[in-house]
Amino acid sequence: MGGGLGLLVPPLTSTLLGSVEKARSGVAAGVVNSTRQTGSVLGVALFGSLIGQENAFLLGARAALTISALLLAGAAAAITIGGRTKR
């Protein structure tokens, strides 16, 4: 997962910064980094609480992975729909 994120984050950041005016690139970079850090913190806290339940590690891990998969599918759908409407 770490390798995948390492390959994913630079192109995403480059695409985002390439889509804004140069005068606003600093603000855009700040928003991207703040959003990424906030998502990381909330994700670790949420999934850690699901997995950390007493005698329910597998149930919590399954719930955390299910939630992750649903969020990923929703984000992919939003990106796909958003990309089609802007063209």
Q: Which domain holds residue 75?
A: 2-85
Q: Which of 45, 33, 39, 41 has the alpha carbon at shortest distance from 71?
A: 39
pLDDT band at 84, cuts 50/70/90?
A: low
pLDDT in tens, 51-77: 777 777 778 778 878 888 898 888 888
Complete DSSP assignment for 26-87: HHHHHHHHHHHHHHHHHHHHHHHHHHTSTT-HHHHHHHHHHHHHHHHHHHHHHHHHHHHH--
Q: What is this structure's pTM?
A: 0.54
**Average pLDDT for residues 38-63, to the nearest whole number?**
78
pLDDT band at 28, cuts 50/70/90?
A: confident
pLDDT given for residue 2 in this prediction = 66
Q: What's the domain count of the chain?
A: 1
pLDDT given for residue 25 in this prediction = 85
pLDDT given for residue 83 in this prediction = 67
pLDDT given for residue 65 in this prediction = 82
